[in-house]
Amino acid sequence: MNIYKLLQLNRKIKNHRIKFLGLYLLHRFNQRYLAVNLDPVMACNLRCKMCYFTDADYVKTLKGQFKEEELNQVAKTIFNRALKLQIGCGTEPTLYKDLVKVVELGKLYKVPYISITTNANLLDEAKIEALLKAGLNEFTISLHGVHKESYETFMKKASYEKFHNAFRAFEKLKKTYDFKVRINYTFNKDNFYELADFFKHFNGASFDILQIRPIQKIGNTEYNDFDLDAIRADYPELIQNIRSQCKENHIILLAPNTIPENQRVNVSSLIFDFTFCYVSPQKFWKDGFNWNHESFNAYSKKIGWSKTLWSNIFKSEKELKSMSNRLNYEVEFN
């Protein structure tokens, strides 16, 4: 299954009523439509300056990890409705000792696409290969600096050498396994211009997708300069250069065409809140879901989920806009 073609299709279908009709039918006929984002352990090995893990008070609230029997129950409850399983959403999944089993459970329940989001500092060739053998489809790698100095400044406790070792392993293993590597580059005014050197430091044979996204406020982070006005005028030219280099290297590019002036609503994301399912030791989808004893269908019926999806078909964009402020990414295949 090509997740990125689905993203592109979502961008092309402008009418939200058609999308909600599709979701309603998928739900009623017990089909897959959820993006299950699973944090199996509430911890991280790094302290990235643009991440809430630099907020000591907030980190104190992040506790727990799934036990084996809990993980089995999570899979039983929700994996059969997952179109995609994203392991690692707000924490570092490679700290979880049974990470391979999470992937194996995803395959057991026939989840079409399984991805891991990681900072890659705890990955080596053996660990990468074990995940691929278990059935992993994609590694999504967080990156906050192209050059060593900025990388290790913004991603505190990280090693630039370990990071690139992982990419050398990706390049090697791509000759044997069919999988994708996606880089998520979060930029601010202090690490933006080094994007021009991206392909001087990263071999296009080691990854497949590049996502470039502007910094957003996600909590009380150590780095808190969210003003991008100083680079706004230069953004289109630099992105055009990146676009050309991605084309030369056959890389899929995900990037907004411009830096948004404010939190404008992305119409393509109106269905986000109805397909995004977050699961962690502290939360399971929506409040009140007794997932240890209640099936997804039973809870959905209790909260009137089917009626909600149906009613959204008849709501205007204005009525739905307050529910999402996701950025508008163009999906460009090269």
For residue 144, give every residue at least 6 positions away whose Cβ sits within 8 Å of its Cβ, in sequence order, or none.
48, 49, 50, 150, 151, 154, 155, 185, 186, 191
pLDDT at 183: 98
Strands (E), the chain: 34-38, 47-48, 82-87, 113-118, 138-143, 155-156, 180-187, 209-214, 252-255, 276-280, 283-284, 330-332
For residue 212, give every residue at least 6 positions away whose Cβ sits within 8 Å of its Cβ, in sequence order, or none.
185, 187, 195, 239, 242, 253, 254, 255
pLDDT at 262: 61
Quote the radius of gyration of the chain (alpha carbons, Å). Answer: 20
Give the residues of the chain that fall short of pLDDT 70: 1, 262-268, 322-334
pLDDT at 3: 76
pLDDT at 1: 60
pLDDT at 4: 75
Whether pTM exceeds 0.95: no
Residue with tokens 């790094």: 46
